[in-house]
Structure 1
Amino acid sequence: MSERFAARALQLAGLAALRLGWTPRVFWDATPSELAASIAPPAPTQLPPTPAEIAALIERDRDG
């Protein structure tokens, strides 16, 4: 195992322990894809409103 790999693996193991609560066994049993999916930010469940939708909301909620 190269020193570079070992250092990076140690960093990732620490991240998995802190953020995910993974034990070393869980970390080493996981595939790189599983680790990446576990630490990736969640995908948005909904698209942000379009400018037209925002304008319609402003018009609808305008006072007066």
Structure 2
Amino acid sequence: MTQFQKSARTACGLACGRLGWSPSAFWEATPTDLILALEGVLPREDERPVTMSEMRALMEAGNG
């Protein structure tokens, strides 16, 4: 299996599994389409979940 085939298989698996795309939707999409869609569902390496105290502070700041 070539590197392209391995990468395409991984990318198609993510698109189908995480985004709910059909294989044909994956192959019709551009690489940019896939990247933007996956950025919406996959956490970035530098992100962490917001804590409850941070969420409360944000809510309080929005009410002020």
- TM-score grouping bracket, smaller chain normalisation: 0.5 to 0.7
What is the CA deviation profile of residues 15-45 of structure 1, one whole-angstrom value per residue up to 9, with x for unaligned ones?
A: 1011000001000000000000000147xxx
TM-score (norm 1): 0.60
Residue 36 of structure 1: aligned partner: 35
Runs (5+) with no aligned partner, structure 2: 42-56
Residue 24 of structure 2: aligned partner: 25
Where does structure 1 differ by over 3 angstroms across 4 or more consecutive aligned residues?
A: none
* Percent of aligned pairs sharing the same letter: 37
Q: Distance in 1 between matches of 2:19 and 2:39?
A: 11
Q: Distance in 2 between matches of 1:11 and 1:22?
A: 14
* RMSD (Å) for aligned C-alpha atoms: 2.0
Q: Rg: which structure is higher?
A: 1
Q: Distance in 2 between matches of 1:37 and 1:15?
A: 13
TM-score (norm 2): 0.60
Runs (5+) with no aligned partner, structure 1: 43-53, 58-64
